[in-house]
Amino acid sequence: MNAPVKTSKLIKGETGDWEMVIGLEIHAQVTSKSKLFSGASTEFGGAPNDHVSLVDAAMPGMLPVINEECVSQAIRSGLGLNAQINLKSTFDRKNYFYPDLPQGYQISQYKSPIVGEGQVTVELGDGRSVAIGIERLHLEQDAGKSLHDQHPSMSFVDLNRSGVALMEIVSKPDMRSAEEAQAYVAKVRTILRYLGTCDGDMEKGNLRADLNVSVRRPGAPFGTRCEIKNVNSIRFMGQAIDYEARRQIEILEDGGVIDQETRLYDPNKGETRSMRSKEEAHDYRYFPDPDLLPLEFTQAYVDGLKAKLPELPDAKRARFMADFGLTPYDASVLVTERESADFFEAVLGQLADKARDGKLAANWVINELFGRLNKEGQDISASPVSAEQMAAIISLIGEGTISGKIAKDLFEIVWTKGGDPRALVETLGMKQVTDLGAIEKVVDDIIAANPDKVEQARAKPQLMGWFVGQVMKSTGGKVNPQAVNDLLKAKLGI
Ligand code: ADP
Ligand code: MG
């Protein structure tokens, strides 16, 4: 794997180069049947206020009780982020007043979070890797939701989400471009999905991020940052960061200063706008929640969770590269979703010659199968081509029974009509012609019919491609291109 390196993509301003500095706060909903401090269900899509206990509604005298499942999920997430697990942490009250927050405060972790510093390795499009630092991960409650569209003159509140456990994952200000920030969010999402600690469903808002963006002259101290709240699409994150950095550069180049403020991204207009300035910022008056004891567990408990973690994407990627000679890029694509990696492994499991066909299998799974699934807007669980069928097609190519070109036709037939690829090759006569005599006859005929082209090809060997094309055409693509090339070279004397 490439050594993690820090890189920058500088932005050209009118007065010189600028560098972006980005730090993210990701809010990830913990996968758990019940809420952080109550037994109410976390199920999505119930009727408003169906999943609300007396604790979530903050009735007087109700006391929170920590849900162990949420604690172990946070620890597992911390382990997946290569982070320090704190055996003792505390819960604090973050006080603010809002209709969807019946307690009048959110229970969060302030000074002493359950997870401390960690690191995530992020792969970029050009094959480079960067290491992004994690500052902390803490547990907190989600708020409810105000409904403003149910009545002409009143707002309603739905407390189903009130009290659901969130993990807030705070990065260090280590990202230097929108691409790095996007790749970081995608990687954290992948890790959490592998762990099963957050489903990563961004459309439902189960994973969203606050984007802290500032700009500076390369090498200068950090500038003042703005925070763009609650973005729940990786594409919009990229747009919001680029817009925000440009906005700040324009202000600075005009001799202005950046006000530290909270902003919102408007995807329709493609711009960020101010929500509140630092002066209007809340004073949360944090203090330790007197209803909750410090959260304490043993190292043995952590070790027990660690021993049961699944193989994570970085390890899987390294294994795919080492065992099957996959490129870093191909390996990254295959491990992005655990289901895709599992499918690839199921294909490999069916191959008679993994060493010979492993790389071919990666190409076919990524380009033909994933490509086709993307086109149809389907994911791997809905693939009409099974791992067995995929492996059969790949083996048929690897052993030379069919050409790569014919294999695409075969894939199409299996995709649309199903069937056993080996049997289909027999019944549909798709086998590659391996009889050298037969190929030679075709080559001889084409050479004899085109003396002018023969002369041209002798003068300019690249023109041999024309002959290869002719042979393919007259055999319906059923000959091995290498054999054709070898024969042509010999016959044309090039
Ligand atoms: P707060 O608690 O006020 O949100 P933090 O210090 O916890 O402030 O930082 C929040 C996020 O802002 C972190 O992800 C951090 O990496 C990022 N950050 C801090 N300083 C800067 C900066 N100058 N430019 C960009 N991001 C920053
Ligand atoms: Mg913040």
Instruction: Please write the tens of the pLDDT for every residue from 258-304.
Output: 999 999 999 999 999 999 887 777 789 999 999 999 999 999 999 99
Cα–ligand 2 centroid distance for 228 (angstroms) = 9
Question: Residue 274 C-alpha to ligand 2 middle, in angstroms?
Answer: 15
Residues with a CB atom less than 6 Å from ligand 1: 21-25, 170-173, 212-214, 222-223, 225
Label residues 276-302 b or e (16+ Cβ within 10 Å = b): eeeeeeeeeeeeebeebeebebeeebb
Using DSSP, state whether 334 is helix, strand or coil: helix
Residues 6+ apart with CB under 8 A from 64: 36, 37, 38, 55, 107, 289, 291, 292
- Of the listed ligands, the closest to the CA of 26 is 1
CA 301 to chain centre: 30
Query: So what's the pLDDT on residue 429?
Result: 85
Two tokens at 57? 């509604």
What's the pLDDT score for residue 230?
A: 95
CB atoms within 10 A of CB 325: 13
Q: How far apart are CA 234 and CA 179, in angstroms?
A: 10
pLDDT score, position 1: 38
Stated pTM of the model? 0.87
C-alpha R_g of the chain:
29
What was the pLDDT predicted at 277? 85
Question: How many CB atoms are closer than 10 A to CB 222?
Answer: 11
Cα 211 to middle of ligand 2, angstroms: 9
Q: Please name which ligand lies nearest the alpha carbon of 260.
A: 1
How many other C-beta atoms are found inside a 10 Å radius of the C-beta of residue 209? Answer: 27
pLDDT in tens, 415-467: 999 999 999 999 998 887 777 788 888 889 999 999 998 888 888 888 888 99
Residues of the chain with pLDDT under 50: 1-6
- Domains of the chain listed by start with CATH number: 10-306 (no CATH), 314-427 (no CATH), 436-492 (1.10.10)
Q: Ligand 1 centroid vs 426 CA: distance in angstroms?
A: 64
Q: How far apart are CA 224 and CA 338, in angstroms?
A: 39
Cα angle vertex 446, ends 440, 448, to 5°? 100
